[in-house]
């Protein structure tokens, strides 16, 4: 099956690239705000216009800046998108008209020798007429007038892209079914090294990095294959304590990161090995547990740690003490700078995913329940002992158990934690959330036997 063409959206900041990206993919994937420069990394999506299907790439706004500055590194990401794209949509703001920066980058695109479609966005209303006429001066052909916000001009844009689509070829083989994706969200505090770690995993400078805190704003998804297993890695914005998040844009970034956690199957909590288990780190781990995701802790910047064996033993003990609800969580030392520990981290991610999906036979659960209640029976409450009758696991992801009891409301929380820890140890469920629901009722198998006897 032919690979869909790649269409890159480029232009100076705040011309509406992310708005058009969201319209083409049919979802609000990219953050949109009036603040210029919201987008910083390349974001890929599956775009559609009528009968056309293609890969669309949202990019950072083109700015003339020093290579080592943040704006300069953002421009490098955009130039990489232009080099890899089959077609570039060069967007200008029709209401603002052509500005000197537009002329500079139009010259850059002409030199690149790649197919370019000039798109004049925000073309609704009379205010855009002068800008549309000015657009001809860029030497990139007739501008396609659109309004990404209101959906105007999409038919004309479809025709312009269709002119660059390859001729359809007959399929000689049925397309292969894609491998099941393992969705992994990488989260952490700002400047914990999340983007650097993902770049090291991918083996390329795919994501924007630097010494500045808070570079990543969108949750960027990248597909990657490791040892025959397909991963979808989500780089997320660093999350600070809620009280410190004041700006609207940061609130949008944090909401995007939270959405990535909910859609992930495994979450990698990136900790700064020089300052691990900050209060915010613990709150993020607790959030992952409440969402029911599998979790692996990555001790990043391990290359900066002295006396590593003693330090690792100490930090694993701290993890057990501070996060008892995730007892047994894998704590893997890594370095995004040198690549140390990356394979171990990915192995721990796969192992956590398998544990998260694990299902237990009902017979084994009830043999275990009988044993623990004999060795440590539930305490008597108000002079009456609570009877635990029967246990089953209705689902995994995370492992979820239902316990039938004579008085579920009377079972103390301490005994409930005892049962959860017992399940974790007996059935090898380290580091994943465990759900235990109590219900009132008899053993259904015993009731059935009684009816048959009658």
Cβ neighbour number for residue 309 with a 10 Å cutoff: 7
380-438, pLDDT tens digit by residue?
Answer: 887 788 889 999 999 999 999 999 998 888 899 999 999 999 999 999 999 999 999 99
Q: How far apart are the C-alpha atoms of 7 and 4, rounded to whole Å?
A: 9
Structure tokens at 88: 């570039």
8 A C-beta contact, residue 282 and residue 322: yes
pLDDT in single tens digits along all 454 residues of the chain: 457 899 999 888 888 888 898 899 887 765 544 454 445 567 788 899 988 999 998 887 676 655 556 455 566 777 777 888 899 999 999 999 999 888 888 888 888 778 999 999 999 888 888 988 999 989 888 999 999 988 999 999 999 999 988 754 444 344 444 447 899 999 888 877 888 888 888 887 765 444 544 445 456 778 889 989 999 988 887 675 554 444 544 455 567 678 888 889 999 999 999 888 988 899 899 999 999 999 999 999 999 998 899 999 999 999 999 999 999 999 999 998 899 999 999 999 999 999 999 999 999 999 999 999 999 998 888 778 888 999 999 999 999 999 999 888 889 999 999 999 999 999 999 999 999 999 987 655 555 555 555 5
Please list, in sequence order, all residues whose beta carbon lies within 8 angstroms of the beta carbon of residue 77, skipping any fewer than 6 positions away: 40, 41, 42, 59, 60, 208
Cβ partners under 8 Å of residue 33, min gap 6: 248, 249, 252
Report the candidate in 264, 263, 240 with the shortest Cα–Cα distance to residue 250.
Answer: 240
Stated pTM of the model: 0.69
């Amino acid at each position: 099956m032919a690979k869909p063409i790649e269409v890159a959206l480029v232009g100076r900041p705040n011309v509406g690239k992310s708005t058009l990206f969201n319209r083409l993919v049919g979802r609000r994937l990219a953050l949109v705000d009036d603040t210029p420069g919201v987008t910083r990394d390349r974001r890929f999506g599956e775009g559609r216009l009528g009968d056309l299907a293609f890969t669309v790439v949202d990019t950072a706004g083109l700015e003339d800046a020093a290579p080592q500055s943040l704006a300069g590194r953002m421009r490098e990401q955009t130039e990489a998108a232009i080099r890899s794209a089959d077609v570039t949509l060069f967007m200008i703001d029709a209401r603002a008209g052509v500005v000197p920066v537009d002329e500079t980058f139009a010259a850059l695109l002409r030199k690149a020798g790649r197919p370019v479609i000039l798109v004049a966005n925000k073309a609704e209303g009379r205010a855009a007429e002068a800008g549309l006429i000015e657009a001809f001066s860029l030497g990139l052909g007739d501008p396609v007038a659109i309004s990404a916000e209101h959906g105007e001009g999409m038919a004309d844009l479809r025709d312009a892209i269709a002119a660059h689509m390859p001729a359809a070829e007959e399929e000689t083989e049925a397309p292969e079914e894609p491998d099941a994706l393992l969705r992994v969200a990488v989260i952490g505090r700002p400047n914990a090294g999340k983007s650097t770690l993902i770049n090291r995993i991918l083996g390329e400078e795919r994501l924007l990095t630097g010494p500045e805190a808070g570079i990543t704003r969108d949750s960027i998804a990248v597909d990657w294959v490791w040892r025959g297993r397909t991963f979808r890695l989500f780089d997320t914005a660093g999350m600070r304590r809620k009280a410190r998040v004041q700006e609207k844009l940061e609130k949008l970034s944090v909401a995007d990161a939270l959405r990535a956690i909910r859609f992930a199957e495994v979450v990698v909590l990136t900790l700064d090995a020089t300052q691990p288990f900050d209060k915010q780190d613990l709150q993020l781990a607790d959030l992952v547990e409440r969402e029911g995701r599998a979790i692996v802790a990555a001790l990043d910047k391990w290359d900066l740690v002295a006396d590593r064996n003693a330090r690792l033993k100490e930090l694993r003990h701290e993890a057990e003490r501070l996060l008892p609800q995730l007892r047994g969580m894998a704590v893997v030392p890594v370095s995004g700078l040198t690549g140390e520990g990356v394979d171990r981290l990915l192995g721990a991610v796969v192992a956590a995913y398998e544990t998260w999906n694990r299902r237990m036979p009902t017979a084994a659960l009830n043999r275990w329940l009988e044993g623990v209640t004999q060795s440590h029976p539930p305490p008597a409450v108000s002079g009456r002992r609570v009877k635990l009758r029967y246990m089953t696991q209705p689902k995994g992801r995370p492992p979820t158990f239902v316990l039938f009891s004579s008085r579920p409301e009377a079972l103390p929380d301490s005994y409930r934690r005892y049962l959860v820890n017992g399940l974790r140890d007996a059935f090898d469920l380290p580091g994943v959330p465990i759900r235990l629901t109590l219900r009132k009722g008899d053993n259904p198998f015993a009731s059935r036997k009684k009816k048959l006897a009658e």
